[in-house]
Amino acid sequence: MIRLFLLAVLCTTFSQNMSYAQLPSKEIWYVGTFSESGSKGLYVMEFDRLLGQFTELQTVHDRKSPSFVSLHPSNQFLYAAYREGMEEGDPNGTIVAYRIDAYTGLLQKINEVSSEGASPCHVSVDPSGDVVFVSNYQGGNLASYKIREDGGLHPASSVFGHEGSNAKPDRQSRAHMHSVIPSLNGNFAFASDLGADRIFTYKVESNTGSLLPAKRGSVRATPGSGPRHFVLHREIPFAYSIEELSNTVAVYQVNPYNGRLRPKGRYNLLSNQVQSEQNSAADIHISVDGKWLYASNRGQDNLAIFKINPADGALTAVGHVPSGGLHPRNFRVDELGEFVYVANMNSDQIIVFSYDSVTGSLNPTEMQVQIPRPACVVQLFINPR
């Protein structure tokens, strides 16, 4: 049974910025995991931030290792990438569509489709809510799916594969697609391929769910860097790519009209500036107010903090905060701007950090929840008052 941790006193930073009457009635977390160390699958949790209390509402175990989940823009549906195939011996993974109960947050399965490649590691949805994108790490490809009216998925509309760069033969002998992120206007999708050392730009055909290579087809990352995840700033035309193998963040200027990415700089993530094979960068997010960028480091087990220059997108290193556990594979920035939730996969925990919007600093609270092998956490507010 998941252990509950209670906060002794109400979080003062929360009470200063938001009253209880302003809170949505329920805050739900959907936590994807790897099916190891006693994990039950996909966890549905309720988080009471006033009491610091977590309640397990549901566990879903349609297949093994739902390692990544993503919400539909309407908040009515959730999509989960399972590493296990639809049939015994199927080398591909499975993408499952769920309907979200508007009052409880519980999940009901709609349908499932093949991921069209081995080891799906990332799933995302375009801003219009018409298309789902899936990244297959071992398959070295990406797939797109038209969303049905009921939130379910049609079979894949398009599938694209790439070639490895071989800059680091042990990790890049072939393509390893790691994430696909839609542009803010929904016209393009940016596909980060760790094995190819490239970020590919695709044109999105939302009416069919298909992808087409854009005229500015790709940007080459530094050889051996391994682009992993990608985040777009919502207010200025810049994007940030976390590079797993080199433990760096690359900055790109984004042309919203043709999807072109123009490199603008790179920054080291490690606290001691010393590269090691034991370290590997993982996840990257921007604060809700757009002032700060955070990136997680596995090995050093910390989060790097950068201040964002709104004029040119450049980063200034501020410092590091320990993740409070082992292997921070994933983290989530609270939509209310109060907390950051860090999923430490190898220590089976999600820790809540308070967020200071003035300094960008993160401070661990007493709030945490034990979940076996957490790999992804997303947040949903339901039943607004």
Gap between the Cα atoms of 365 and 125, Å rounded? 32
What local confidence, expressed as pLDDT, does residue 217 receive? 86
Tokens encoding 80: 């989960």
**Count of C-beta atoms within a 10 Å radius of residue 102:** 10
Q: What is the DSSP string of 121-152?
A: EEEEE-TTS-EEEEEETTTTEEEEEEEPTTS-
| Strand (E) or helix (H) holding 366 | strand 362-370
What is the model's pTM? 0.93
Residue pair 34/65 in contact by the 8 Å Cβ criterion: yes
Alpha-carbon distances of 251 from 227, 272, 285, rounded to whole Å: 12, 21, 13
Identify the pLDDT of residue 229. 99
Side-chain half-sphere of 150: how many Cα atoms within 13 Å? Answer: 9
Mean pLDDT score across all residues of the chain? 93
- The pLDDT score that the predictor gives to residue 188 is 98
Q: Would you say residue 118 has pLDDT above 70?
A: yes
Helices (H) and strands (E) counted in the chain, each on its own, are 2, 28
Task: Give the containing element (helix H, strand E) for 16.
Answer: helix 12-17
Distances (CA, A) of 46 to 58, 109, 378: 10, 19, 12
Chain segment 342-377, per-residue pLDDT in tens:
999 999 999 999 999 999 999 999 999 999 999 999
Long-range CB contacts (< 8 A, 24+ apart) of 381-384?
381/24, 381/26, 381/27, 381/28, 381/335, 382/24, 382/25, 382/26, 382/28, 382/75, 382/100, 382/102, 382/103, 382/104, 382/105, 383/24, 383/25, 383/26, 383/102, 383/103, 384/24, 384/25
More confident residue, 17 or 35: 35
C-alpha pair distances (Å), 177 with each of 6, 81, 87, 93 = 40, 14, 23, 14
Tokens for 78, please give them.
Answer: 């959730």
Cα 319 from chain centre: 22
Q: What is the pLDDT of residues 36-56, one digit of tens each?
A: 999 999 999 999 999 999 999
Neighbours of 335 (CB within 10 A): 13
Query: pLDDT band at 271, cuts 50/70/90?
Result: confident
> What pLDDT shows up at residue 25?
76
Q: Tell me the domains of the chain and their CATH numbers.
A: 26-381 (2.130.10.10)
Q: What is the pLDDT of residues 82-117, one digit of tens each?
A: 999 999 899 999 999 999 999 999 999 999 999 999
Average pLDDT value for residue range 201-230:
96
